[in-house]
């Protein structure tokens, strides 16, 4: 099945995928029904593809106006917005998708930051509090909502309001700078960096069970067309704690008299991780080919509130770094794909040589068996001829006995079809 029409492949798009520019050119050169027909999808599906790629379509009556010589201006292709699909490919398209490289914004003249209303709420944090509280409370008091399509905030119950307010302030500040904050779109693969919630992890492995909640889609900010992941989480610290009535309580929170009292046999002390009430903002590269992480941990509660402008400036500069890492990562991935293709080609060539050698060996072996069978048949036939000639020279009584025995022997040996064996033999090229 041809996934892409021929004229849509005249551009530099890889086989099986179409860019925004190529699709825009298609839908303004041919009616939507014809374009959909050639892509073997419905016109309504093709319209949804155009919407997902922010590709304007001709208005109703456009083609009729052109047919009657009336003007119907072509709407220009707008710049792609963060989250717009930049390529479209059918599920049966061959090979990996080739995505455009993300680019940081062009250098701009510094402009005064607009005032942000204190009552403003970003769509990602508006009305989500109840969704965070509907779920489990796991070790260290962390919330584990049952819903996963939420903003990337990982905190305990007492810190939920502060964390959402902090995320809201950061998102509004980023939006005011011209950077769109959203859940990761589906235009390409975006991954989420893991979270190390321990303030001082040391060299020990974090074998937390149950695991911390994580969203189904990363929260990202687009600086230019570069996506930067954002996770806001509460840190933990290791404290000595006593097991009291089914829970661990830090010794510092126990009354002095309780700490001095001898422990009963069913109680003990150990070191456990406890939520600190201090947040850490983690920014990361959501591109699988680029490894980049930066953190802003709080030394004291609500310290991040005073760093918002510095964070926005840092993320603006980090976009250039991440874009370079993605470009290098894609280059290395292309090299690995080429090496893999070459290795696969070498393996296929080796397998083909082995198959041909095996076919040649089997053909030769079967041919030698056919030759041996031919020799055996010739010897047997010569034996019966000579024995029959010899029997005819004997007396009538002996001749009758010998000819009878030869007949029995012929039946026992059966018919010797030497040419039939050769007809069944297959040469190396036939295998």
Tell me the per-residue pLDDT of 296-340, one tens digit each, with 9 for 90 and over: 999 999 999 999 999 999 999 999 999 999 999 999 999 999 999
The partner residues of 61 in beta bridges, in order of sequence, read none
pLDDT interval class at 242 (50, 70, 90): confident
First to last CA, the chain: 30
Cα separation, 241 vs 269, in Å, equals: 5
Average of per-residue pLDDT across 104-108: 77
When pLDDT is cut at 50, 70 and 90, the band that residue 246 belongs to is: confident
* Residues sharing a CB contact under 8 Å with residue 80, sequence separation 6 or more, in sequence order: 20, 53, 54, 86, 225
| Torsion angle in degrees (nearest 10) through CA of 40, 46, 50, 56 | 110
* Average pLDDT value for the chain: 86
pLDDT score for 261:
65
- Reading the block at residue 153, the tokens are 């905030």
Give me the residues paired with residue 351 across strands: none
Taking CA 185 as the corner, what is the angle to CA 180 and CA 191, rounded to the nearest 5 degrees?
Answer: 105
Provide the pLDDT for residue 308: 95
With CA atoms as reference, report the closest residue to 185 among 39, 69, 286: 286
Distance CA 391, CA 379 (A): 18
Calculate what percentage of the chain has a pLDDT beyond 70: 90
Alpha-carbon separation of residue 89 from 13, 186, 227 (angstroms): 10, 13, 22
pLDDT digits (tens, 9 = 90+) for 338-351: 999 999 999 999 99
pLDDT digits (tens, 9 = 90+) for 170-216: 999 999 999 999 999 888 889 999 999 998 887 776 777 678 999 99
39 pLDDT more than 80: yes
Q: Above pLDDT 90, what percent of the chain?
A: 48
- Bridge partners of 37, per DSSP, are none
Distance CA 77, CA 336 (A): 35
CA torsion sign for 357, 360, 362, 364 is negative
Give the per-residue pLDDT at 7. 47
Report H helices in 393-431.
Answer: 396-413, 418-424
Q: What share of residues in the chain are helix, strand, coil (percent, to 5)?
A: 45, 15, 40
pLDDT digits (tens, 9 = 90+) for 150-176: 999 999 999 999 999 999 999 999 999
Among candidates 137, 140, 138, which has minimal Cα distance to 249? 140
Work out the average pLDDT over 106-133. 81
pLDDT category, 148, cuts 50, 70, 90? very high
């Amino acid at each position: 099945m041809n996934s892409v029409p021929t004229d849509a492949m005249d551009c530099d798009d890889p086989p099986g995928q179409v860019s925004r520019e190529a699709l825009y050119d298609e839908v303004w050169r041919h009616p939507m029904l014809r374009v959909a027909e050639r892509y073997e999808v419905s016109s309504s599906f093709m319209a949804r593809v155009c919407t997902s790629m922010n590709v304007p379509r001709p208005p109703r009556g456009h083609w009729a106006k052109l047919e009657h010589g009336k003007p119907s201006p072509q709407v220009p292709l707008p710049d792609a917005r963060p989250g717009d699909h930049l390529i479209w490919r059918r599920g049966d398209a061959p090979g990996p998708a080739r995505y455009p490289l993300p680019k940081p914004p062009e250098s701009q003249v510094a402009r005064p930051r607009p005032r942000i209303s204190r009552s403003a709420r970003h769509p990602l944090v508006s009305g989500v509090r109840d969704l965070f509280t509907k779920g489990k409370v796991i070790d260290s008091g962390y919330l584990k909502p049952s819903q996963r399509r939420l903003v990337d905030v990982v905190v305990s119950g007492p810190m939920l309001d502060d964390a959402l307010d902090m995320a809201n302030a950061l998102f509004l500040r980023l939006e005011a700078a011209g950077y769109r904050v959203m859940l990761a779109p589906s235009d390409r693969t975006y991954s989420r960096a893991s979270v190390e919630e321990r303030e001082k992890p040391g060299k020990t492995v974090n074998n937390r069970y149950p695991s911390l909640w994580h969203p189904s889609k990363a929260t990202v900010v687009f600086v230019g067309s570069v996506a930067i992941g954002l996770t806001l989480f509460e840190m933990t610290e290791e404290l000595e704690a006593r097991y009291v009535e089914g829970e661990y309580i830090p010794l510092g929170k126990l009354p002095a008299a309780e700490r001095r009292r001898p422990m009963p046999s069913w109680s003990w002390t150990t070191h456990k991780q406890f939520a600190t009430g201090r947040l850490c903002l983690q920014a990361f590269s959501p591109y699988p080919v680029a490894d980049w992480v930066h953190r802003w941990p709080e030394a004291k509660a609500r310290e991040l509130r005073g760093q918002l402008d510095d964070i926005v400036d840092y993320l603006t500069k980090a976009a250039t770094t991440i874009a370079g890492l993605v470009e290098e990562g894609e280059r290395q991935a292309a090299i690995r794909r080429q090496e893999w293709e070459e290795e696969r080609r070498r393996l296929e060539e080796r397998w083909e040589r082995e198959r041909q050698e095996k076919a040649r060996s089997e053909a030769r072996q079967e041919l030698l068996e056919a030759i041996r069978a031919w020799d055996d048949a010739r010897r047997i036939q010569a034996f019966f001829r000579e024995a029959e000639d010899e029997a005819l020279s004997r007396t009538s009584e002996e001749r009758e006995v010998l000819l009878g025995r030869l007949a029995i022997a012929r039946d026992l040996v059966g018919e010797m079809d030497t040419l039939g064996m050769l007809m069944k033999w297959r040469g190396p090229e036939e295998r």
